[in-house]
A = this chain, B = another copy of it.
Amino acid sequence: MAVLKTEIRSGVYYDSAKLMQLQRILADLPGVEDAGVVMGTESNKEILTHIDLVTPEVKSATTNDLVIVVRAENDKAAATAIGSVDEILSRRKEGSGEFRPRSLETAIQNLPDARWVLISVAGRFAAALAKDALSNGKHVFLFSDNVSVEEEIELKSIASQKGLLVMGPDCGTAIIKGACLGFANKVPAGPIGVVAAAGTGLQQVTSRIAQLGSGITHGIGTGGRDLSEKVGAVTFKMAVEVLSRDLETKVIVMVSKPPAPKIAEEMIKVALRAGKPVVVNFVSYRPSTTQRDNLWFATGMDDAARLAVELAKNPPTLVDDQELKLERFAKGQRYLRGLFSGGTLAYEAQHILADYLPRVYANAPINKENKMANSMASTEHSIIDLGEDEFTVGRLHPMMDNELRIRRLYEEAKDPDVAVIMMDVVIGYGSHPDPASELAPAIKTVIDEAEKAKRHLEVITVVTGTDDDPQTLKNQIKQLKDAGAWVSTSNEEVCRYAGRILRGLNAEATPTPTATQVDLASLQADVSGINIGLESFYENLKAQNVPAVHVEWSPPAGDNEKLKGILERMKAKQS
């Protein structure tokens, strides 16, 4: 009959590695069947219950209690095990004769060049240490979880004023100039920079990049909560921004667990300003397309790695909004009018333009809230499908009869706020025998009249058809181009060209960034670090030949919460 024996210790602190070590040693003692060594949280108590390590004392333990419980063959074995706890806990690793400061301050004196402080103590102590590190001008890798969101917001507010990165809390992974912080993989140096609100996300993407034969400049973790609305992606934005200034970084990859939708859109805007290819992979985020502007949307982490490696190898020519020559337009010209004969082309145009404009009205809208109040009168950005039933009762379809569209074209062109008019020209059997012969002169007229009025009207047309059609594609394109229209046979190309012009004409002044920029030199310098918490992180730095100091930290006031509170308040008064 198995015997359970429990010991509860209050107000003590050991790091989790120490506790795991104790548990394993206890479980391996003769006569011991199983052992549990954990803090007395509800979920840990549930686990202990689940694996038959529960006693009344375990049940009444609290979060601040260290619970030690063994299940043994007999009383003696159980008692011996529990009796040896103190001796096991006092064992020290051999050969660690090096200097071990007991405070961050001393550690900094010891290694003043260290720009990175790694913190992995229990969550309730982590924020105070991180604040100390920031006030000393250090970037913080904050592995600890169970740090409150309020503390995270405060830390990141301080950091953004100082141009420092707070990676975390609950940040598992970072690779800075080849040095692995926390959980990270040895990845070759290369042209790809990764920013991740996703610990294993960063590991998976960087590992796949290495497996594909490429490498990275930096892998910057932010902590999973960084892309929540509350935190507002402070670290993520600063990280993307500094990588966009880093000439070594040719491609940026953004990785995240499911972000808040609003924050995802903000990150897209930040990425659009990066000036280099950015691969976006937000889990469960469904983009409208796979590529636009300087953005490539990946379907997953492995696809993100593949895309980044490919883009780094074959740098794409990025679209340049200078080519749009926005200066041609008069002040106030900013609206789109789409005059379509093809319903699907009109729908797809709305879908694509949503990437560029906050709202496009339509008589056949994709979203009901964008329904035009009156199909006869356009407002702001409007797309009218003149092939809709409302226009075709007892009247020929606009692909056969251009009259209604031409009337509308003249009308829209008179509106001084209109900058772009989009039209489709669909040829083939059934359609008008030569639509361009009627549309092109009208297009020429409205362009000329706008010019007379000191405006510029961009008329953009998509032509659908083939050269085997009775009207021939070539012939239609030529007539439209001669009239001054911008022509393509790709609806997507036409819509994105229009979208970029309109985005440019409707751009709000870029808001002044609130964060101080991260000093690029601090990322490019060789890493040295100060470690507080899990000793293995320190050992990993040493194993990588990264200069490092480990702080032999213990909680203030021996983890007596009340006393600690008094000390904190005293400290606050002093400063």
A511 at the interface (CB under 8 A from B): no
A375 at the interface (CB under 8 A from B): yes
Q: In whole Å, how far is A313's beta carbon from the nearest beta carbon of chain B?
A: 19
A303 at the interface (CB under 8 A from B): yes
B395 near A16 with CB under 8 A, answer: yes
Q: Mark A55-69, 1 if CB is under 8 A from B, else 0.
A: 000000001001000
Q: Mark A9-50, 1 if CB is under 8 A from B, else 0.
A: 000000011011001000000000000001101011011001
Stretch from A86-94, A271-279, A413-421, A428-436 forming part of the interface with B:
A428-436
A492 at the interface (CB under 8 A from B): yes
Q: Which residues of B contact A424 (CB under 8 A)?
A: 200
A430 near B180 with CB under 8 A, answer: yes
Q: Which residues of B contact A106 (CB under 8 A)?
A: none
Q: Which residues of B contact A23 (CB under 8 A)?
A: 403
A301 near B199 with CB under 8 A, answer: no
Q: Which residues of B contact A20 (CB under 8 A)?
A: 395-396, 400-401, 403
CA distance A140 to B391 in the complex (A): 24
A183 near B431 with CB under 8 A, answer: yes
Stretch from A156-164, A242-250, A340-348, A549-557 forming part of the interface with B:
A340-348
A366 at the interface (CB under 8 A from B): yes
Q: Mark A254-291, 1 if CB is under 8 A from B, else 0.
A: 01011000000000000000000000000110111111
Q: In whole Å, how far is A321's beta carbon from the nearest beta carbon of chain B?
A: 21
Q: Which residues of B contact A430 (CB under 8 A)?
A: 172-173, 180, 182-184, 536-537, 540
CA distance A23 to B400 in the complex (A): 14
CA distance A56 to B343 in the complex (A): 33
CA distance A344 to B376 in the complex (A): 50
CA distance A203 to B341 in the complex (A): 12
CA distance A50 to B403 in the complex (A): 14
Instruction: Given A257-B347, A429-B180, verify A200-B300 contact (CB < 8 Å).
Output: no
CA distance A208 to B375 in the complex (A): 30
Q: Which residues of B contact A395 (CB under 8 A)?
A: 16, 19-20, 38-39, 44
A499 at the interface (CB under 8 A from B): no
Q: Which residues of B contact A468 (CB under 8 A)?
A: 185-188, 210
B50 near A376 with CB under 8 A, answer: yes
B342 near A199 with CB under 8 A, answer: yes
Residue ID in chain B nearest A170 by CB atoms: B389
B469 near A186 with CB under 8 A, answer: yes
Residue from B188, B387, B543 in contact with A470 in the complex, judged by beta carbons closer than 8 Å: B543
CA distance A394 to B64 in the complex (A): 10
CA distance A399 to B203 in the complex (A): 12
Residues of A171-208 at the interface with B, using a CB-CB cut-off of 8 Å, are: 172-173, 180, 182-188, 196, 198-204, 207-208
Q: Which residues of B contact A7 (CB under 8 A)?
A: none
Residue from B196, B290, B394, B464 in contact with A41 in the complex, judged by beta carbons closer than 8 Å: B394
Q: Which residues of B contact A38 (CB under 8 A)?
A: 393-395
Having A182-B430, A198-B343, A291-B299, one finds 9 other A-B pairs with CB under 8 Å, namely: A39-B394, A145-B389, A145-B392, A172-B387, A183-B430, A185-B464, A186-B428, A202-B344, A207-B473
Give 24 CB contacts A-B under 8 Å: A16-B396, A17-B400, A20-B396, A38-B394, A41-B394, A43-B393, A44-B394, A183-B399, A185-B428, A186-B429, A186-B468, A201-B344, A203-B464, A203-B465, A204-B342, A207-B466, A208-B490, A211-B466, A283-B347, A284-B351, A288-B299, A290-B299, A301-B348, A429-B543
Shortest Cβ-Cβ A-B pairs, 3 listed: A200-B342, A39-B394, A201-B344
